[in-house]
Amino acid sequence: MLASIRAAALVGIEAVPVTVEVHAGRGLPQWVITGLPDGAVRESRERVTAALAQSGFEVPARRIIVNLSPADLRKVGTAFDLPIALALLAATQQLPDSALAPLLAVGELGLDGSVRGMRGVLPVARLAAALGAQLVHPACDLAEAALVSAATLRPVASLREVANALVRGGRWPTHDVPALTVPQALPHDDLADVVGQPAAVRALVVAAAGHHNLAMCGPPGAGKTMLARRLPALLPPLDDDARLDVVAIHSVAGLIDPARLRERTRPFRSPHHTISVAGLVGGGPGPRPGEVSLAHHGVLFLDELPHLAAHALEALREPIEDRTVHIARAGGALRFPSDVLLVVAMNPCPCGYAGHPSIACRCAPAALARYAQRLSGPLADRIDLHVTVAPVAPATLARHAPHADHTEAAPTDTATWRDRVHTARSRQLARFGCPNARVPATRLLDTAHVTADARGFLADAAARLALSARAFHRVLRVARTIADLADEERVGVAAVAEALRYRQPRTLGHTDGPTRPATPATADPVTHAS
């Protein structure tokens, strides 16, 4: 007899429908699984057989053929165990075949008949909602699946629970959705703790306001990592659609933290500099999303940038520009989203002290030359803001130490800056429908409201600095963000001047002293206070 049930396969971060067909006929007892199954799917025979026996069902001694349709789509993972078991029970008349019609089932089976968790439940729940199907899924994944409010969920803890519900005519067991709390931001992730870096804080605020990529260059211990970790708190919280996208990516990657499912803080990913190309942009068996996709809608921080493998760095160019990773395989192509705010940090030279006011650089000229070649021109051209993070003097640290006796104003905290960043972003969304960094070049000069003097100034500067077309438009986008932060409708010369200062990369291996950032008239006086 033949029976079928709907299931789902993951392709990238999307779930696609799969029909599981089971035929139990006469012949020598054996199992045949067709439809491009991977090793985990082929091993489902042993798991399903043991689960059926432990759940009190008959294991038929028949020739069983399992087909996973469409047959040209590779099936990966253990989520096909439950639909195979249900279709087999229907094919051997131990369950009514008609009861499977409204269902879409996924889940791994334990040898004792329990239904265990799986990767990618949220994309599957989205698919079930789109198909109007009832989703039978592991009860342990209920909190994740419940994020899709339009889905009809049937959480189950065992194969016996599913069978009893189908025999009783659809009276499913009830499982409470776990109570989730949104973790509070840690107190040490506040900009108020940053001491003596007004230029870097200013660049951080501009990056957050316009979604501009940022590069920080400075000696060890200057505060580059500390600054980068405070960037997500400046960004607007995730809306409902963006939060589901983030959860879906992490679910497919198997990195879901159930306690943080309802958190709206944007993701922050900081991979080690020894990461591979597949780990950074995606790939490997499956394939699975890389760090640039795990940071989707958030911040990707690459510390010690020159120490990353050159081919890994160059692989970032297209995902950063196109905001999508395309992975081509012989069996087809996959797409992973990669809309990230890129922040990179680097030392000025291999020893880290080129240009330091009090520590001499020990690097030979040849080592400096090799170090300078680590960051290619095309990748540097895709970074909007380049800022030097100078070392903080001990006297400055002492004046700002807790309980110290000083009269300087306290540094501005994250909450204050976040309000200004959100206000600036609201202006951009009303004007362009997206942050300034995402505005198409064709719309910039028409709708960015640039004064005639600022246009002429930018044209002259672009000619003198030999800016590429990409760099020209990126300078204009940054200038538009600076004007938005200053609550100015039109982009003036001062905003363009500050944007140009950020545009000039701090050359790796330079031996000049720390560059003092420009302080244009549009800059916030609080920002440039010590």
Over residues 498-511, the mean pLDDT reads: 68
Alpha carbon 54 to its chain's center: 41
Average confidence (pLDDT) over 400-428? 73
DSSP for 40-106? HHHTHHHHHHHHHHHTT-----SEEEEEEESTTS-B-SSTTHHHHHHHHHHHTTSS-GGGGTTEEE-
Average pLDDT score over residue span 361-390: 86
Backbone angles phi, psi at 388, to 5 degrees: -90, 130
Tell me: do 159 and 11 sit in the same domain.
yes
Please tell me the least confidently modeled range out of 337-346, 368-377, 512-521.
512-521
* pLDDT over 90 percentage in the chain: 60
- Per the structure block, which two tokens stand in for 412? 């501005």
Same domain, 155 and 6: yes
The owner of tokens 């200038």 is: 479
The answer, yes or no, to whether residue 182 has pLDDT greater than 90, is no
Highest mean pLDDT among 47-51, 334-338, 416-420: 47-51
Task: Name the residue with tokens 């008609």.
Answer: 98
Q: Quick check: 63 pLDDT over 80?
A: yes
pLDDT, average across residues 292-315? 92
Give exposure, 253-289, as e/b (b: 16+ Cβ within 10 Å).
beebeeeebebebbbbbbbeeebebbbbbbbeebbbb
| Amino acid identity, position 59 | V
Whether residue 105 contacts residue 124, with contact meaning beta carbons closer than 8 Å, is answered with: no
Instruction: Specify the pLDDT at position 422.
Output: 95
Residues 176-184 have a mean pLDDT of 62
Cβ neighbours of residue 133 under 8 Å, at least 6 residues apart? 6, 102, 103, 104, 152
Closest CA to 43 of 120, 91, 90, 108: 108
Q: Are residues 203 and 103 in the same domain?
A: no
pLDDT interval class at 174 (50, 70, 90)? confident
pLDDT tier, 226 (very low <50, low <70, confident <90, very high otherwise) = very high
The DSSP 8-state label assigned to residue 380 in this structure reads H
Per-residue pLDDT, 181: 56
Are 135 and 203 found together in one domain?
A: no
Question: Is residue 111 scored above 80 in pLDDT?
Answer: yes
Three-state SS sequence of 205-236:
HHHHHHCCCEEEECCCCCCHHHHHCCCHHHCC
**What pLDDT, on a 0 to 100 scale, did the predictor assign at position 436?**
94
Q: Is residue 291 part of a domain?
A: no
Q: Where do we find the tokens 């002290």?
A: 353
Which of 10-24, 76-90, 501-515 has the least mean pLDDT?
Answer: 501-515
Is 513 found in the same domain as 463?
Answer: yes
Query: Coil, strand, or helix at residue 472?
Result: helix
Q: Please report the pLDDT score of residue 511 as a whole number.
A: 40
Cα atoms found within 13 Å of the Cα of residue 122, Cβ hemisphere only: 23
Tokens standing for 167?
Answer: 């025999």
The first and second tokens of residue 46, run together, are 């042993």
User: Is 283 among the domain residues?
Assistant: no
On whether both 160 and 206 belong to a single domain, the answer is no
Q: Is residue 379 part of a domain?
A: no
Q: Give the residue-averaged pLDDT of 198-226.
A: 93
Q: Which domain holds residue 450?
A: 192-211+412-530
**Coil, strand or helix: which one is 511?**
coil
Q: Is residue 335 part of a domain?
A: no
419 pLDDT higher than 70: yes
Predicted local confidence at residue 454, as pLDDT: 93
**pLDDT, mean over the chain:** 86
* Residue 505's pLDDT band (cuts 50, 70, 90): low
206 and 72 fall within a common domain = no
Q: How far apart are CA 422 and CA 428, in angstroms?
A: 10
The residue whose two tokens read 């672009």 is 462
Q: What integer is the mean pLDDT of 151-174?
A: 89
Residues 307/296, Cβ–Cβ less than 8 Å = no
Determine the pLDDT at residue 427.
Answer: 94
Residues 63 and 147 placed together within one structural domain of the fold? yes
Residues 149 and 8 in one domain: yes
Quote the pTM value.
0.85
Who wins on pLDDT, 458 or 193? 458
CA distance linking residue 461 with residue 263, whole number of Å:
44
Judge residue 497's burial from the number of C-beta atoms within 10 Å of its C-beta, 0-12 exposed, 13-18 middle, 19 or more buried: buried
Lowest model confidence (mean pLDDT) among 142-151, 396-405, 448-457, 482-491 = 396-405
Q: Is the pLDDT of residue 316 over 50?
A: yes
Q: Residues 244-261: what's their mean pLDDT?
A: 87
Considering the domain architecture, whether residues 418 and 511 belong to the same structural domain is answered as yes
Quick one: which of 177, 296, 320 has its CA closest to 241? Answer: 296
How many domains, in total, are found in the chain?
Answer: 2
Instruction: State yes or no: pLDDT of 481 exceeds 60.
Output: yes
Domain presence at residue 336: no
Look at residue 170 in the predicted model and tell me its pLDDT.
66
DSSP 8-state assignment for residue 16: E
Tell me the mean pLDDT in the region 106-119.
Answer: 95
Q: Give the separation between CA 497 and CA 433, rounded to whole angstroms.
A: 26
Give the tens place of pLDDT for each residue, 321-332: 899 998 887 667
**Do 95 and 197 sit in the same domain of this protein?**
no
Q: Is the pLDDT of residue 517 over 90?
A: no
Length of the chain: 530
Stretch 195-224: mean pLDDT:
92
pLDDT for residue 214: 96
Cβ-defined contacts of 492-498 (< 8 Å, 24+): 492/451, 492/453, 492/454, 492/522, 493/451, 493/453, 493/454, 493/457, 494/520, 494/521, 494/522, 494/523, 495/454, 495/520, 495/522, 496/450, 496/454, 496/457, 496/458, 496/461, 497/457, 498/522, 498/523
Which pLDDT value is given to residue 324? 92
Residue 200 lies in a domain: yes
**Other beta carbons less than 10 A from residue 339's beta carbon:** 19
The verdict on residue 42 lying in a domain is yes
- Per-residue pLDDT, averaged over 445-460, amounts to 89
CATH of the domain at 87: 3.30.230.10
Same domain for 83 and 203, yes or no, is no
**Residue among 75, 24, 18, 67 at smallest CA distance from 49:** 24
205 closest CA partner among 235, 229, 226, 225 = 235
What is the band of 510 on the pLDDT scale with cuts at 50, 70, 90?
Answer: very low
Q: Is residue 438 part of a domain?
A: yes
